[in-house]
Amino acid sequence: MTEVKKKGISIREAANKYSLCHSTISRNMKKDKPYQERSYGRPTALTAGEEKRLVDGLLLAAEWGMPFDRTEVRTVVKRFLDKQGRKETRFKDNLPGIDWCISFLNRHKEPKTRCCENIKRSRAAVSKEQIGNYFDNLEVTLKDVSPDAIINYDETNLTDDPGRSQVIVRRGAKHAERIMDSTKTSTSAMFAGTASGKVLPPFVVYKSKFIYDTWTEYGPGGTVYDCSNSGWFDNYLFEQWFFKIALKHFKDVDSKVGETVPKLLIGDNLASHLSISVIEACRDHNIRFVFLPPNSTHICQPLDVAYFRPLKIKWKEVLAEYKTKHKGTVPKFVFPGLLKKALDRMDKASDNLRAGFRASGIYPLNRFQVLKKLPSTESEAGKNADESWSAAFVDVLKEARFGNESVTQKRKKRIQVEPGQTVKVEDIPSSTNKQSSNEDKRPSTGNASKEDPLLIPKKENEHPRAGNKRKKAGNGKSNKDRVKTDNAAGNKKLVTAAPKRPTKKPRI
């Protein structure tokens, strides 16, 4: 075939030279051509140019976070044919069938079907300017910091539901059911790892007022256990994690070098991850405490990018094995053993951590690893898409991705520090600094009310309720027997309730 194409010999000559059938060579020559250049078969409903424009539009929509499914693709083709005034006899009411959609995807190699994940509009609104400012600050913060001195932390929950899985059933069965108990309960845990690939011990938080010794047995080595009323982390628990796990690792790094070297602690900006004692400890031990940009953990958090997904897969496998042999929910004394099994099955945990730091652009420092995950700008979109896709289509995708309504939110307690910069004590709000120094008093996680309900003046009722009909017996007039009323002039006066009628004496 190469000699036929490049040297210009005929198919018959090539067949005689290599002792092959000339029809076999001819058939394979046609397969190498694009489907538009093939002369056999019925022509497609859309021309090659129309299908090319449709492919460009689908890729542009997926790039802006609004991908189409097969039904929407068929609807787009129907609307296109209706606007063109064309009547395609192979389609019912100009609506292509599912077979046409499958053939269309087979003809073009760029578009592929994938299972999508839903993200919030706030996450989709992360701009390249925000990421650029974050990496500008991070470039200065990461100076002279070794990879084993960079820690990324994040909390996640391990649910009691093993999820769905493919099973073998009889052909034609409408429902594939598996008898297995599952609930919506979950256990929170804080995970952390270094840029060099070292996984730090987890910090498990149970939803309980007390913690028992059986809840801490047979777990991963070095794991710390605690509890809270909500089952999630608060300021007190974050302090415990920092001093017992993170700071312990940082001290080991300093002991190996023999001096206090620059270190980096990076994570998401949550109110529960803010503590004056943690900030002061970071200042004393030369630890640079850095926050990630808001709503960007799905692309900037190393643990979210490459570690939590394989961890959840192994956890569901271990949980499914336990559920097949036991009934009910997972007891708290069984949880540490299951967590240890899941972590032991992660053979490539160190590789996943290093890949997460690399994909998030933290180590080695490379902002383009994150910028390439964001949608292109208007000028770049115009280069990629065909000219037939108007600017109105791009505006629709922008509106669907970013939204156009601004909703007023309540003011949150957030530290005003640019992402990538080190957090200092002066940056913490004064309300956060007024926490009690007593370790037994755990800080409250609830939001404080803006107004004291005791200081709000009560409005006088225009029509007061009637007094209680049942009064105390006797001639005494107590305050409870009096009801406030308003006269016509607006002056208040006291009206004495009528005394009760005397009761009859019982017969003897």
Q: Where are the domains of the chain?
A: 1-32, 43-116, 126-162+182-401+414-433
Q: Which residue has the tokens 């009528």?
A: 498
pLDDT of residue 459: 45
Cβ-proximal residues to 293 (8 Å cutoff; 6+ apart), any chain: 126, 130, 131, 134, 300, 419
The helix (run of H) or strand (run of E) holding residue 263 is: strand 263-267
pLDDT of residue 438: 45
In this structure, what DSSP letter does residue 86 have? -
Q: What's the rounded Cα separation, in Å, for the pair 269 and 294?
A: 7
Query: What's the length of the chain?
Result: 508
The listed CATH number (3.40.50.12780, 3.90.76.10, 3.30.420.10, 3.40.50.2300) that belongs to domain 126-162+182-401+414-433 = 3.30.420.10
pLDDT of residue 380: 46
pLDDT of residue 208: 95
Q: What's the rounded Cα separation, in Å, for the pair 400 and 384?
A: 20
AA letter at 183: T
The percentage of residues in the chain with a pLDDT greater than 70, rounded to a whole number, is 72
pLDDT of residue 39: 55
pTM greater than 0.85: no
Tell me the CA end-to-end span of the chain in Å, nearest whole number. Answer: 127
pLDDT of residue 339: 97
The helix (run of H) or strand (run of E) holding residue 190 is: strand 186-194
pLDDT of residue 384: 44
Residue-wise pLDDT tens digits, 432-461: 454 444 444 454 434 443 443 333 344 444
pLDDT of residue 193: 97
Q: What's the rounded Cα separation, in Å, for the pair 497 and 500?
A: 9
Q: What's the rounded Cα separation, in Å, for the pair 508 and 506?
A: 6
pLDDT of residue 355: 96
- Ranges of the chain whose pLDDT falls below 50: 378-392, 431-432, 434-441, 443-464, 469, 471-498, 508
Tell which residue, 319, 324, 343, has the closest CA to residue 160: 319
pLDDT of residue 387: 43
In the chain, what are the helix, strand and coil shares in percent, each to the nearest 5? 40, 10, 50
pLDDT of residue 135: 94
Q: How many C-beta atoms lie closer than 10 Å to residue 143's C-beta?
A: 10
